[in-house]
């Protein structure tokens, strides 16, 4: 019987400019300039991170979903928010 596949993601560092997510052997920056939803989040909210699929990250305490590709190439994913706060 095959084992259960687990996809792990971990926040490795948080600074005043953003944070970094470790996915397998790849560490990706998440700058607040590109992802402003995280700027006022607590450490607990940022570090509570799930990886439901290989290309999907979810922060349940913030209800934020991001594709891994958007972290690799944020310029290809224009910032879109329904909130007036980020307009």
pTM for the complete prediction?
Answer: 0.80
In percent, how much of the chain has pLDDT > 90? 74
pLDDT per position as a tens digit, 42-57: 999 999 999 999 999 9
- C-alpha 83/C-alpha 87 separation (Å) is 7
Dihedral sign for Cα 18, 37, 68, 44, please. positive
- C-alpha 85/C-alpha 79 separation (Å) is 13
Domains of the chain and CATH, by start: 9-72 (3.30.2020)
pLDDT of residue 39: 95
- C-alpha 23/C-alpha 30 separation (Å) is 13
Query: Does 2 score more than 80 pLDDT?
Result: no
And the tokens for 62?
């913030």
- C-alpha 41/C-alpha 43 separation (Å) is 7
């Amino acid at each position: 019987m095959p084992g259960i596949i687990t996809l792990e993601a971990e926040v490795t560092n948080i600074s005043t400019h953003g944070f970094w997510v470790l996915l397998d052997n790849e560490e990706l920056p998440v700058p607040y300039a590109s992802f402003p939803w995280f700027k006022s989040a607590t450490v607990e909210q940022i570090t509570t991170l799930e990886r439901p699929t290989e290309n999907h990250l979810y922060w349940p305490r913030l209800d934020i979903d991001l594709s891994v590709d958007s972290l690799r190439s944020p310029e290809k994913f224009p910032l879109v928010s329904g909130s007036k706060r980020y307009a």
